[in-house]
Structure 1
């Protein structure tokens, strides 16, 4: 239950962040909005880390260098989301993002990327993503 609650909060906040970034980018530019978002996110995370007093960040050397690209990916994600929202609107952007996320999870699960155990994709998974794609077609 706790996982679902955090997923709901995260999903709602991703959408709100995208809308806010889209609005900010209209005033100062898309890369500027991405920079501002990354910076304010860094500041908040740093403050939380200081209060949490969790010292596990000191194990940074154990993290594979490939995985350290997450922050760089976030900048591209913000730029892509904001640009998409300007062109196709919030609802369609979020719908397409969800399909793209599911597509990448299918690939990473089926290939065992990032050290995950390989999962076999079955008909229900393909039917589910097909229904989502049909929903996006209807939305647009």
Structure 2
């Protein structure tokens, strides 16, 4: 249950961040919005890290270099999300983002990419994605 609560909170924050970034980008520009978002995210993360003090930075050498650049994807995410919100609106953007996210994680699970344990996908998994796509099509109408 705790995981579901964290996931719901994260999903709500993704939506709020997208709307805020779209608004910021209208006033000052999309890459400026991405920069402000990344900077404020860094500051908040640093403050929380200094308070919580979990983990060990010395262990970063154990992390594959590809994974160390994961935060750089946020700039791309913000740019694309802001641009999509301005073109198709918040609801369709978030719906499409969720479908893309689910489809990509589906592929990661099915193929066992990035060291994830490979899982066999069954017809209900495919049906779930198809239902989500159908839902977005209905929203678009």
The C-alpha deviation readout for 1:64-83, integer Å capped at 9, x for no partner, is 00101211101100000000
**In structure 2, what is the equivalent of residue 106 of structure 1?**
106
**2:84 equivalent to 1:87:** no
Superposed counterparts of 1:64-75, under 5 Å: 64-75=64-75
**Which consecutive residues of structure 2, in runs of 5 or more, have no partner in the other structure?**
none
**In structure 2, what is the equivalent of residue 31 of structure 1?**
31
The C-alpha deviation readout for 1:6-44, integer Å capped at 9, x for no partner, is 001000010000000000000110001001100000000
**In structure 2, what is the equivalent of residue 116 of structure 1?**
116
Deviates more, 1:73-82 or 1:53-62: 53-62
Scaled by the length of structure 2, the TM-score of the pair is 0.97
**2:72 equivalent to 1:61:** no
How big is the shift at 1:58?
2.4
SS of 1:119 mapped into structure 2? coil
Runs of 4+ aligned structure 1 residues displaced above 6 Å come to none
Give the length in aligned residue pairs: 140
- Measure, in 2, the Cα distance between the counterparts of 1:136 and 1:120: 26
**Which consecutive residues of structure 1, in runs of 5 or more, have no partner in the other structure?**
none
- Supply the RMSD in Å over aligned alpha carbons: 0.8
SS of 1:54 mapped into structure 2? coil
Superposed counterparts of 1:7-22, under 5 Å: 7-22=7-22
- Measure, in 1, the Cα distance between the counterparts of 2:16 and 2:55: 31
